[in-house]
Amino acid sequence: MSDRVTGDTGTTVPGVLVSVNGCGLLITGESGTGKSDTALRLLERGHRLIADDAVTLSVEDGVLYGRAPSALAGWLEIRGLGPQPVTTLFGSHTVAERAPVDRVIRLTSPRSWADWPRLAPTVDDTLLLGRTVPRITLPVSPERPLALLVEVVARLHAGDQLTGGTV
């Protein structure tokens, strides 16, 4: 996460922050890997959007939180339709002002599926504002159900079952 822009209100990083069953998940990855599309599908499944495109991070009482920059709050960029107001599409209950950043999910397009580990997750830690946050890397392709995979990550995180694997 080297694309950091520091301002008076915190540090802003590229990505999407969603709350899935109360778990704050910061989704990162190169442009076009499906971050906003995954958020759209998660909204359809009843989860909450915190921020799309840019996430402002801060530490409050020792906890790392994320929120949307004020100009982007409540908006989701839908490829082909442009920025859309989430509350109009899904209701006011689908947007939250902030959430703790419990885990980072990095989306990546693998060079070769044959080389991608099948039996162990690719997990490591990342440092955000001096806080260590667990991170998992998920390979993407058009046929992968990313919203479902993100829900599985949230469930495994809640049960403290997402450990080990390759780095």
Q: Are 133 and 101 in contact (CB under 8 A)?
A: yes
- Beta partners for residue 25, in sequence order: 18, 103
pLDDT of residue 91: 95
Give CA–CA dist 133/68, Å, rounded.
19
* Amino acid of residue 132: T
Domains and CATH numbers, the chain: 5-158 (3.40.50.300)
pLDDT of residue 119: 72
Q: Characterize the bridge pairing of strands 98-100 and 48-51.
A: unpaired
**Residue 11 is encoded by which pair of tokens?**
């540090």
Q: Which are the contacts of 126, defined by CB distance < 8 A and separation ≥ 6?
A: 1, 104, 132, 133, 135
Give CA–CA dist 27/11, Å, rounded.
16
pLDDT of residue 9: 54
pLDDT of residue 2: 36
Q: Which are the contacts of 165, defined by CB distance < 8 A and separation ≥ 6?
A: 117, 120, 121, 122, 123, 136
Q: Are 149 and 139 in contact (CB under 8 A)?
A: no
Q: Are 133 and 124 in contact (CB under 8 A)?
A: no
- The residue whose two tokens read 């690719």 is 122
- Mark out the alpha helices in the chain (DSSP H runs): 35-44, 86-90, 146-158
CA Rg value for the chain? 15
What average pLDDT values come out for the chain (167 residues) when binned by 10 residues? 44 96 96 95 97 96 95 95 96 96 94 77 91 93 92 86 54
Share of the chain above pLDDT 90, in %: 75
pLDDT of residue 163: 60
pLDDT of residue 120: 73
pLDDT of residue 161: 65
